[in-house]
Amino acid sequence: VGYLLIFYTPIVWVLASPLVISEEPKVSDVIVVLGGGVGESGKAGQGYEERVKQAVELYKKGYAKHIIFSSGYTHIFKETLVMKALAVSLGVPESAIILENRASNTYESILCAKEIAGKERWKSIVLLSSPYHMLRVSKIFAKVGGDIAVSYTPIPESSFYTHSTKGIFTRKVNVSQIGGIVHEYLGILYYWWKGWI
């Protein structure tokens, strides 16, 4: 019964729903894109592409004139360099892109983005990450963001979190997705313990 409840009902997604914060983007000074690293999937390169494509779309629609790619992760190449190369290939000028390579976690990414915004005198950002990462991001920003206005705008669809909503005997969640959601709740608990949120 427990197995059926976990894997063949939407209960996991119901329990995960408080992690998602999704707001309409507002015209801002900069779009901040948090790199994927190994992220929720546990595999390098699984999250950055979706985030970059969403950032490029928002940039082209005029939501901001600048993009910050933030990630200290390196897998063969620095993740931010790969993100920049993709954005440029999709039509964003290099002059509009700022790379932040120092951050080793979400907390440091937010601090570094805030530092860059302060130097540039930017007061508003569109913050982009994966859907189930946004609660932790928002809690960090609430603590350290100061007077910067933030639109929390996750990617609209994550291939990692794609799941079926149809059919009573259709599997609704897999072990990797459960792991990603548990990882996020544990991340929030750890950040609270560290005093970061």
Q: How many CB atoms lie within 10 A of CB 147?
A: 6
DSSP letter for 61, please.
T
Q: Residue 78: beta bridge partners?
A: 74
pLDDT at position 1 is 77
pLDDT at position 167 is 64
- Convert the pLDDT of each residue in 112-146 to its tens digit: 999 999 999 999 999 999 899 999 999 999 999 88
Which residue ranges in the chain fall short of pLDDT 50? 38, 41-42, 44
- For the chain, what percent of residues have pLDDT higher than 70? 88
pLDDT at position 39 is 53
Helix, strand, coil in percent for the chain, rounding step 5 = 45, 15, 40
pTM beyond 0.85: yes
